[in-house]
Structure 1
Amino acid sequence: MLDPQRTISDLRELQRRTGDAQGAQRVAYTAPWHAARAFLTSQLAELPVTVETDPAGNLWATLPGEAEQELWIGGHLDSVPNGGWLDGCLNVFAGLEVIRRLSEQYQGRPPVTVRLVDWADEEGRFGHSLYGSSAVSGHLNPEAAGALTDRDGVTMREALAGVGIDLDHALDAGAQRQKAAAYIELHIEQGPVLERQGLSLGAVLGTCGVERHRVTVTGRAAHAGSTPMDARQDALLVLGRLSQDVYAWTATHAGVSTIGSVTTAPGIATSVVETCEFTLDQRHLDPAGLRALWEAAQTNLARYCEEGGCTFTVSPLFQIEPVPFHPELVNACEQAILQVTPAAIRLPSGPLHDAAEVARAGIPTVMLFVQSLGGLSHNAAEDTRDADLALSVRAFDRLADRVMTWMVGGEGQAGR
């Protein structure tokens, strides 16, 4: 029997083990992340599943079915520093509860093979989001990714080697796709749309595309006391002007842009800033809109640098196109929601999710969102009402059944 309260209890226990007063601390490959995986595997040990880690470091639990074709249920245990208690791990433990129910109902052998996956480093500790799922999809560039560093200067290659993963063989994880027939993922919305409309759940149409870059502006260091204001080549001034205007030109193109990290050098009180390095993350559901956002950023950067006597260089961090989800499975998701609550909407996802990489690999995919209080995520204030969490687990379970029917019965069955 499905028990959503068990999922909520698992999530609270996970936070007790891997969080603190500042929030969740399950940053990929750190001790709390290892503790989270140990807790998950202890729960899986009670089920008739096989557990394995693929060459990229993703954790898979497989419940064999009557048919070899596979329904994947995905999530991620890693978090951002000081993150929320639900982001990513709700997917994993709701999927665990679905597998518990299926194992009990079908005496350990459901109609299709069901696989629960904990994707490695979804959050992008090194600036590359969706690492584990991009390895499975085949979109990972190991050479470029390996050189990326976290905020402490540790490279992705070094961190992976520390947990026994050879990045040069990460793409071998693509072998997991051989029998995949569908993928479903439950996630908190991380935004305010459902709450504003007074709804608990929503069916996700797809994920926005992302352009993420590291920009380095170079000016000239000079003494803070003796250099007149009109004689300065201040790299920070370029960012100051850009940050003032970014909201205006982003709104013009109906997307979102975020300057998320800033460092300066020489970084002392008595010197004009010579170099200013910052990250720019831009997102849009339409490919043309995404291109327009990045073109606007480059145009404005060039203008401000010319005005300030500076230059700039750009290093790509991450790029993914907008990814629509499978229309039949979106229908199935909406119908599953309506089985447990009176109303449902369809909405896009601004945040990235592993579902995007799975869909890019050609596997029929859909996501289900549950309301986030205040639209908050990636901080300790992230929360969802227990009643909505329980509803989401029930709807997700119904979705799993609908998708299995679709897999066995063919196109057009999932949404009925």
Structure 2
Amino acid sequence: MLDPQRTISALRELQRRTGDAQGAQRVAYTAPWHAARGFLTAQLAELPVTVDTDPAGNLWATLPGASDQELWIGGHLDSVPNGGWLDGCLNVFAGLEVLRRLSEQYDGRPPVTVRLVDWADEEGRFGHSLYGSSAVSGHLDPQRAATLTDREGVTMRDALAGIGVDLQHALKAGTQRQKAVAYIELHIEQGPVLERQNLPLGAVLGTCGVERHRVTVTGRAAHAGSTPMDARQDALLVLGRLSQAVYAWTAAHGGVSTIGSVTTTPGIPTSVVETCTFTLDQRHLDPAGLAALWDHAQRDLAQFSADAGCTFAVSPLFQIEPVPFHPALIGACEQAILDVTPQAARLPSGPLHDAAEVARAGIPTVMLFVQSLGGLSHNAAEDTLDAHLDLSVRALDRLAERTITWIRAAERHGARIPAAP
């Protein structure tokens, strides 16, 4: 029998084991992350599943079914530093509860094979979000990924080697896709839309495209006391002007733009800034809108740098196009929500999710959102009402059952994917 309260209890225990007063600390490949995987695998040991790790480091729990066609349920245990208690791990432990129900109801052999996946490093410890799922989708560039570093200077290659993963072989994880026919994922919304609509759950239309770059502006260091304001080549001035312009052109085109990380050199009170390095993250559901945001950024960077007597260089960190989800599964998700609550919303996702990479690989995909209090995420204040968490687990379970029916209908008609659930 499905027991959503068991999911909530497991999530609270996970936070007790892997968090502190500042929030969740399950950064990929660190000790708390290993502890989280150990907590999960201990509970998986109680089910008739096989557990294995693919060449990219993703963890898979497989419940064999009467058909070898696979329904995937996905999430991620890793968190940002000082993260929230629900981001990513709700997906995994809700999926675990669905596995329990399916195993019990069908005597350990559901109509189709069901696989729960814990994606590795969804959060992007090294600036590359969706690492594990991009390896499975085939969109990972191992050569570029190997050069990426985290905030302490640890390379992605070395961190993965520490868990027995050779980054150069990560794309071999793509063999996991061979029998996958559908992917579903539950996630907290991480925004305020559902709360503003006073709705607990929503079906997700797709994920916004992302352009993420690191920008380095170079000026000239000079004494802060003796250099007149009109004689300075101040790299920070470029960022100051850009940070205001960002809001203007994002308001004009829609989407969101964020300058999220800034470092300067020499970084002392008595010197004009010589170099200013910052990240720019831009997101939009429409490809043309995303392109317009990045065009504005490049034009303004060139203008503001020239005005300040500086130069600039741009290096890409991450890019993904807008990814729409499967229309039939969006409908199934909406119906699953209506199975457990009177109203359902449809909304896009601004944050990235592994579901986007799965969908890019051609696997029919949908996401289910549950309301986030205050729209907050990626901090210790992240929260969702227990009553809404309960509903979300029930809706995910109904979505899984509806998707299984959808897959079986395809098999009966000799097709891989039917037109409607």
Task: Tell me if TM exceeds 0.5.
Answer: yes
Distance in 2, matches of 1:253 and 1:124, equals 27
**1:270, distance to aligned residue in structure 2 (A):** 1.1
TM-score (norm 2): 0.98
Q: What displacement does 1:42 show?
A: 0.2
Q: Which residue of 1 aligns with 2:55?
A: 55
Is the 1:73–1:183 Cα contact (8 Å) retained in structure 2?
A: yes
1:179 counterpart residue number: 179
Q: Distance in 2 between matches of 1:101 and 1:127?
A: 37
Q: Displacement, 1:231?
A: 0.2
**Secondary structure, counterpart of 1:339 in structure 2:** helix
Paired position in structure 2 for 1:124? 124
Contact 1:204 1:347 in 2 (8 A): yes
- The corresponding residue for 2:270 is 270
My pick for the range that moved more, 356-365 or 262-271, is 262-271
Q: Could you tell me how far apart the structure 1 residues matched to 2:85 and 2:390 are?
A: 15
TM-superposed deviation, 1:180 = 0.3
One-letter amino acid matched to 2:34: H
Distance 1:30 1:244 in 2: 37
- Please give the alpha-carbon distance, in whole angstroms, between the structure 1 residues aligned to 2:267 and 2:334: 52
Corresponding position of 1:46: 46
* Residues in 1 aligned to 2:154 and 2:265: alpha-carbon distance in whole angstroms: 20
Supply the distance in 1 between the matched residues of 2:161 and 2:54 (Cα, whole angstroms).
Answer: 14
Could you tell me which amino acid in structure 2 is paired with residue 290 of structure 1? L
Q: Which residue of 1 aligns with 2:351?
A: 351
CA deviation string 1:172-231 (max 9, x = no partner) = 000000000100000000000000000000000000000000000000011111111000
Q: What residue number does 1:382 align with?
A: 382
Partner residue, 1:397: 397
Q: For residues 349-407 of structure 1, give each alpha carbon's deviation from its aligned partner in whole angstroms, at most 9, with x where no partner exists.
A: 00000000000000000000000000000000000000000000000000000000000
What residue number does 1:239 align with?
Answer: 239
One-letter amino acid matched to 1:84:
G
In structure 2, give the amino acid aligned to 1:23. G
Question: Mapping of 1:129-208 within 5 angstroms?
Answer: 129-208=129-208
Runs of 4+ in 1 over 3 A off after TM superposition: none
Deviation at 1:255, TM superposition (A): 1.0
- Equivalent position amino acid for 2:111 in 1: P
Q: What is the rounded CA distance, in whole Å, between the counterparts of 1:264 and 1:413 in structure 2?
A: 54
* 8 A Cα contact 1:183 1:363, kept in partner: yes
Are 1:281 and 2:281 counterparts?
yes
Distance 1:144 1:352 in 2: 20
What residue number does 2:414 align with? none
Contact 1:214-1:317 within 8 A present in 2 as well: yes
Amino acid at match of 1:276: C
Q: Deviations over 1:50-95 (max 9, x none)?
A: 0000000000000000000000000000000000000000000000
CA distance in 2: counterparts of 1:148 and 1:264, whole angstroms: 20
- Which secondary structure state, in structure 2, belongs to the residue aligned with residue 185 of structure 1? strand
Contact 1:406 1:412 in 2 (8 A): no
Aligned match of 1:32: 32
What is the count of residue pairs matched by the alignment? Answer: 414
- Structure 1 SS opposite 2:259: strand
Q: Which runs of 5+ in 2 are unaligned?
A: 411-417
Secondary structure class of the residue paired with 1:7: helix
The match for 1:216 is 216
Say which is worse superposed, 158-167 or 75-84, in terms of deviation: 158-167
Per-residue deviation, 1:162: 1.1
Q: Which residue identity is paired with 1:265? A: T
* Code of the aligned partner of 1:233: Q
- Partner-residue secondary structure (3-state), 1:318: strand
Question: Which TM-score applies when normalising by structure 1?
Answer: 0.99
Aligned to 1:23: 23
Equivalent-residue separation in structure 1 for 2:117 and 2:376 (angstroms): 25
The percent identity for this pair of structures is 85
CA RMSD, 1 decimal: 0.5
C-alpha contact (below 8 Å) 1:131/1:140 kept by paired residues? yes
The alpha carbon displacement at 1:412 in A equals 4.1
